[in-house]
Amino acid sequence: EAGVVQSPRYKIIEKKQPVAFWCNPISGHNTLYWYRQNLGQGPELLIRYENEEAVDDSQLPKDRFSAERLKGVDSTLKIQPAELGDSAVYLCASSSRWQGVQETQYFGPGTRLLVL
Amino acid sequence: SQQGEEDPQALSIQEGENATMNCSYKTSINNLQWYRQNSGRGLVHLILIRSNEREKHSGRLRVTLDTSKKSSSLLITASRAADTASYFCATDSNYQLIWGAGTKLIIKP
């Protein structure tokens, strides 16, 4: 079974430029998560999708971050414009159907973003 | 915000020794999960323990949960070089999975 796929693996951009990350979850997983992980820290949730609906985006900086999950499968996370403080690893994860509790999440390898 | 707090922040032991990491949290939980992250790689789920469970085993891993003390421990027995990684606990509370900052484990040959 293929795992969670993310691309690109690395991205270097200058500040004020836009950037986008792509995620393909495990087949059949209805729940998809985007996290940001700073060096030496645990992941911080940015947004959670149930199928195509964003059900928790309270931590997403909506002035510059946006996300979509068309057709309830693949998802993209965009930053426009990027700031120096956005340098981090962006992780995508998926899990099986939401049942009111958090079940095991399966993570992709992440996209390491460096903003210069 | 981070609810789980792992202790110690870093741990260095000899190969073959046991490693114990602790996690404390603040609010009531549905379950607690432990994950491992190797350098440069993604997070891998290790074990999930539900709030009504006290102990769980998986191979060389043993997890305990004390809900009265709001704490959990992860024991890795007979450590190997491949166990070198960061270990995170994550608690399911209020429909969110809240992560700690992790324990960095180094296994010396």
pLDDT tens-place string over residues A59-84: 899 999 999 998 889 999 999 999 99
Q: Residue A110: its chain B contacts at CB < 8 A?
A: 42
CB-CB under 8 Å, B88 with A105? no
What pairs with residue A92 in β-bridges? Answer: A34
Cβ atoms within 10 Å of B38's Cβ, excluding its own: 13
pLDDT for residue B96:
74
Share of chain A above pLDDT 90, in %: 72
User: Rounded CA gap, B92 and B67, in Å?
Assistant: 13
Of the candidates A42, A93, A105, the beta carbon closest to that of B2 is on A42
Nearest CA to A47 out of A36, A63, A34 is that of: A34
Segment A20-37, tens digit of pLDDT: 999 999 998 989 999 999
Measured CA to CA, the distance from residue B31 to residue B42 in angstroms comes to: 21
Q: Are A22 and A6 in contact (CB under 8 A)?
A: yes
User: Per the CB < 8 Å rule, is B102 touching A103?
Assistant: no
CB-based contact, B33 to chain A, within 8 Å: yes
Bridge-based pairing of strands A111-115 and A10-13 is parallel
The answer to whether residues A26 and A2 touch, using CB atoms and an 8 Å cutoff, is: yes
- pLDDT score at A98: 60
